[in-house]
A = this chain, B = another copy of it.
Amino acid sequence: MKMSFAQTMLQAAVQEAERLNLKVCISIVDMAAWPMAFLRMDGTPLGSIDVSQKKARTAVLFQMDSADFAKIAHPDGQAYSLENTNGGLTSFGGGIVLKSADGTVIGGIGVSGASSEDDVAIARVAANALTS
């Protein structure tokens, strides 16, 4: 995934968050889970920095959105403690796996700072900006 794609997603995420009057952190990682781009909007709680990073990381490492990861990596799920591997992963929404047209995983985006629902919505808008 190119840097320019990451920049496009950052811009789309910030615009959507501003439209919703929300403040978030946005982390974008490549297909190997290495950081590509990050932005923290003014006023976002500091704890969201690490959360956005872990959400993006979760999506790539297990090739699924963090909301889906939550169903298995939970005390009531099939793979409880999976969330404690890889330096700590996130079992709630806001991390989305990015795929190319042929389904290949090309990276992940994580959004944190608002409610899980809004984080997911913002990440979805950003991911769509990549493919449109």
Q: Is A37 an interface residue when CB atoms closer than 8 A count as contact?
A: yes
Q: In the complex, what residue of chain B is closest to A83 when comparing beta carbons?
A: B81
Q: Are B61 and A46 in contact (CB under 8 A)?
A: yes
**Complex Cα–Cα for A113 and B82 (A):** 12
Report the copy number of this chain in the oligomer: 4
For the complex, count residues of A whose C-beta is within 8 A of B: 49
Q: Indicate if the CB atoms of A3 and B41 lie closer than 8 Å.
A: yes
The minimal Cβ–Cβ distance linking A59 to chain B, given in whole angstroms, is 10
Q: Check A122 for interface membership: any CB of B closer than 8 A.
A: no
Q: Is A70 an interface residue (CB 8 A)?
A: yes
Q: Which residues of B contact A116 (CB under 8 A)?
A: 78-79
A100 to chain B, nearest CB (A): 15
Given pairs A6-B39, A47-B86, 8 additional interface contacts (CB within 8 A): A7-B39, A30-B32, A32-B32, A32-B46, A33-B46, A47-B61, A50-B85, A81-B83
